[in-house]
Amino acid sequence: MEFFDDGDYELREIQKLEGHTDRVWCLSWNPKTGINGVPPIIASCSGDKTIRIWEQSGPSQSWRCKAVLEETHARTVRSCAWSLCGKFLATGSFDATTAIWENVGGDYECVSTLEGHENEVKSVSWNECGNMLATCSRDKSVWIWEVLPGNEFECVTVLQGHTQDVKMVQWHPRMDIVFSCSYDNTIKVWWSEDAESENWECCQTIGESNNGHSSTVWALSFNVEGDKMVSCSDDLTLKIWEANTLRMESGDGYAPWSHICTLSGYHDRTIFSVHWSREGIIASGAADDAIRLFVESKDDSIDGPSYKMLLKKEKAHDMDVNSVQWNPVDHHLLASGSDDGTIKIWELASTSTEMPEASTESTESTASTEKKALQKLGMTTLI
C-alpha cells in the first residue's frame, strides 16, 4: 500500500470528451482494455438517452468516440457497467428497463432488455463472475438477475426493504454479496447462502444509529482487497467501513460492517460519486464541480486508520460532477462525468515530474497543459 506525501500531487487534464447533448450521469472503464495491446475503452451514459463508447488510439493517443448507442432507451440512461470479462455492457434507464449490449464484430448490439422495475432504474452492477447482475430503482427495490445461456436473463429475486429511492447497487468485488444505498439514508447488505436461489435477505442495515449517514447515500465503493468500503452522501461526508471479509470468504458466516472513519469538513455540497482506486486513492465527485482525492494517513493513530485529503481539483467541471471512475489498469488515470455534458480524463501525477508532450489532436488539452505550466512559473496567461 503506497503512502502519499502531502501536497506534491496534481490532477492533470489529459482530454475533454465532448459529444453528449445532455448531462453525463455515469462512466465505466472496460476492464479488459488498456492492456495486452488493446486500446483503453470507456463507456458513458447520458440524459440525451444515449451511451457513448470512447477509445484511446492512434499515434496521438487521443480519445475518440467510437460508437453511439442510441434508439434503444426511451429516456435518460442513468447507469452503465461493463461486465468483468469486458464483453457485455449493462445500461439502466429512466424508462424502467435495463439493456444488455454486446460487441458483435465492432458494432454494439442490444442483445437483451430486462423489464420489471416499476419506474426509473438508477444503477446496474455485475458480480465478479459475470453470471449475475443487480439493478435498483426509484421503486425502492433491488432486482437480482442471473445470466443464462443465449443471453437470457432471469430474475432470481426482488429485494425489498429500502423505504425510498435506491440510488446505487454494487456487488462486493470478491463475494456474491450485494450492497445498496438509498434516499432513505441507509446502506443495506443483501446475502444468500446460495446466490442463485431466491433466498436472499437483508443481513445488515447501516443507518444513522450505526454511525451511518444522516441524509441520502449516493454511492459506495470498495478497496481492492474488499475489506473496506467508502460511502458518500448528501450529508457532506465520506464514511469508511470495514468488515472481517477473510472470515466471510472462508465460509464462516456473515461478518458485519462497522464504521472506522468519517471524513467531514472537506465537502460543502452533496457528494454524488466516490471510487476507490486499486492503489488506495479515494476520489470523490461533488455538486460544487470539484474532484477531491483522499488517502490513508501515514500517521499512526491509536484509534485506527485515518484519512486525509491529498488534493482538491476545483472547477474540474462547469457543473456538478456526477461520476468519478479510476481506470482499473492504469491506476493513475481518472475519468469524470458531469452535468455539463462532458467527460474528462485526468492523470494523477507528482508535481515534480515533467509535463507530458501535448497531444497534437486535441487543442483543448494543449491549452490547458500550457496554461498550467505558465501558471506554475508565475506568469499570467494572455487569454
Residues that bind another protein (CB under 8 A): 94, 114-116, 118-120, 138, 154-156, 158, 160, 165
Shortest separation between residue 329's beta carbon and another protein, angstroms: 35
Please say which residue, 35 or 148, places its beta carbon nearer to another protein: 148
- Nearer residue to another protein within complex by CB, 117 or 313: 117
d(CA 155, CA 135): 10
In whole angstroms, how close is the CB of 265 to another protein at the nearest point?
28
Rounded-to-integer distance, Cα 375 and Cα 382, Å? 11
How near is the Cβ of 155 to another protein at its closest, in Å? 5
Of 127, 147, 124, 126, nearest to 137 by C-alpha is 124
Q: Is 45 helix (H, G, I), strand (E, B) or coil?
A: strand
Q: Coil, strand, or helix at residue 230?
A: strand
Beta carbon nearer to another protein, 165 or 242: 165
Cβ–Cβ contacts within 10 Å for residue 297, how many? 16
* Residue closer to another protein, measured from CB, 110 or 358: 110
**What is the residue whose three cell numbers read 439493478?**
135
* Distance in angstroms (rounded) separating the CA atoms of residues 247 and 220: 22
Q: Which of 100, 51, 49 is nearest to 73 (CA)?
A: 49
Q: Is 352 strand, coil or helix? A: coil
Q: Smallest distance, Å, CB 80 to another protein? A: 19
* Cell, residue 288: 460544487
Least distance CB 325 / another protein (angstroms) = 23
Quick one: 20 or 167, whose CB is closer to another protein? 167
In the complex, the smallest distance separating the C-beta of residue 153 from another protein, rounded to whole angstroms, is: 9
- Can you name the residues that pair with 285 across neighbouring β-strands? 273, 291
Q: Between 115 and 314, name the residue whose CB sits nearer to another protein.
A: 115
Other beta carbons less than 10 A from residue 142's beta carbon: 28
